[in-house]
Amino acid sequence: MKLKYLVTLAVIVTVAGVNAAIVTTVKGREKMDIKKEVFGTTKDGQEADLYTLRNANGLTIKITNYGGIVTELHVPDRDGNLDDIVLGYKSLDKYIANSPYFGAIVGRYANRIADGKFTLGGKEYTLAKNEKGINHLHGGTKGFDKVLWEAEPMETDEGPALKLSYTSADGEEGYPGQLNCTVIYTLTNNNELKINYEAKTDKATVLNITHHGYFNLAGQSSGDILSHKLMLNADFYTPVDKNLIPTGEIKSVSGTPLDFRKPTAIGARIDQVKGGYDHNFVLNKPERGALSLAAEVYEKGSGRMMQVFTTEPGIQFYSGNFLNGSNKGKGTVYNKHWAFALETQHFPDSPNKPHFPSVVLKPGEKYEHTAVLKFSTK
């Protein structure tokens, strides 16, 4: 008989006045860890924690319940050496002071809503125009990336997990309905970071939640990502105007620098794209809502590969265009193109584009979104 859950050990350790709870589970020969420590204090005096999860193969992730931010993610290269592949900061204060959504959960509406306005059920709603006074971006002034989530560590059959819950009040940031959200991060023993999003509302509303990781598969302090090879499983994209708002067209990528159907270096054609890549791609899907391959990124030096699977209809590929050396991260400043983001999502400005897949959630319905980031080497 396979001995499951052989030993479960809970130790409370006090390190320099900080309470750290370490739970070690030995499952046969597998070993998983979840550790909790204090990360810092928010401006209104609330404590934010930092959870460290380790899977059976030694992959490690650090997540704070402030904004649901993944602050570190250590994955092996082809020789088994672990390196942190996500941009971010070492302290909570820096995330609070100025972060371009590093590693955060973004909502209620990730990406842009034109003019900060939409109409639902005959009523017009006004949102903050927090991008240059023009667009509503990533949920507004205090989006999901800036709130404290309730956190619950969990040991699952797939690997260690952290369940985050947040109730967004009716009218918060201008959106209708009380929205109850959960996001579960699972670091599976198959070397995947699985993100499961769920939400329910008590009034019809719009939403689009995502995770805004900034990745550099060579390691977060190793320079630009222009030589990373990217494959996007998308025949079409949604062109944007000068304010990065979709024009409403669905255009073929064929013959454009946005054609990543065959793995191509991110830098190969970036000069032909004004400002760099910051586009929503329409994912090829066997059927609507299916969990299917959206993207694949490979970095030759380390041999690291990241595959992205999602149930969402779109993905935002952003080539770190706005990084300009002003963010002093973990031991280094981050310059232009030092990371890429692949945000699984509905299309930008969908509340104002009735022909785009619907982002409306009604009472009694459940919003569900899964994204899987699978790590391997070759």
Nearer to ligand GLA (CB atom), residue 166 or residue 318: 318
Nearer to ligand GLA (CB atom), residue 52 or residue 111: 111
Contact 231, 305 (CB under 8 A): no
Q: How many CB atoms lie within 10 A of CB 125?
A: 18
Q: What are phi and psi of 270, to 5 degrees?
A: -60, -30
CA atoms within 13 A on the CB side of 172: 22
Nearer to ligand GLA (CB atom), residue 218 or residue 341: 341
Contact 71, 103 (CB under 8 A): yes
Nearer to ligand GLA (CB atom), residue 89 or residue 318: 318
Distances in Å between the alpha carbon of 293 and those of 55, 233, 260, 300, 308? 23, 7, 13, 21, 6
* Minimum distance from residue 104 beta carbon to ligand GLA (Å): 10
- The 8-class DSSP code of residue 156 comes to -
Q: Is 212 a catalytic residue?
A: yes
* Minimum distance from residue 349 beta carbon to ligand GLA (Å): 12
* Minimum distance from residue 328 beta carbon to ligand GLA (Å): 16
* Minimum distance from residue 226 beta carbon to ligand GLA (Å): 17
Catalytic residue (one of 212, 228, 337, 346): 212
Q: Which residue has the tokens 């009218």?
A: 171
Distances in Å between the alpha carbon of 43 and those of 66, 71, 146, 326? 12, 19, 11, 22
Contact 209, 241 (CB under 8 A): no
Q: Which residue has the tokens 């971010």?
A: 88
Distances in Å between the alpha carbon of 197 and those of 26, 52, 231, 280, 343? 28, 20, 25, 20, 13
* Minimum distance from residue 274 beta carbon to ligand GLA (Å): 13
* Minimum distance from residue 129 beta carbon to ligand GLA (Å): 14
Contact 87, 69 (CB under 8 A): no
Exposure letters 220-257 (e unless 16+ CB within 10 A, then b): bbbebbbebbbbbbbbbbbebeeebbbeeeeeebeeee
> Which residues in this chain contact ligand GLA in the complex, by CB under 6 A?
100-101, 111, 137, 244, 278, 316, 318, 322, 341, 343
- Structure tokens that stand for 113 in this block: 């809503």
Helices (H) and strands (E) in the chain, counts: 1, 31
The CA distance from 351 to 344, in Å, is 17
Nearer to ligand GLA (CB atom), residue 139 or residue 159: 139
Nearer to ligand GLA (CB atom), residue 51 or residue 260: 260
* Minimum distance from residue 276 beta carbon to ligand GLA (Å): 9
SS3 248: coil
Q: Is 312 a catalytic residue?
A: no
* Minimum distance from residue 244 beta carbon to ligand GLA (Å): 6
Q: How many CB atoms lie within 10 A of CB 315?
A: 26
- Structure tokens that stand for 258 in this block: 């946005």
Q: Which residue has the tokens 């649901």?
A: 68
Nearer to ligand GLA (CB atom), residue 101 or residue 149: 101
Nearer to ligand GLA (CB atom), residue 77 or residue 349: 349
Query: Known catalytic residues?
Result: 212, 343
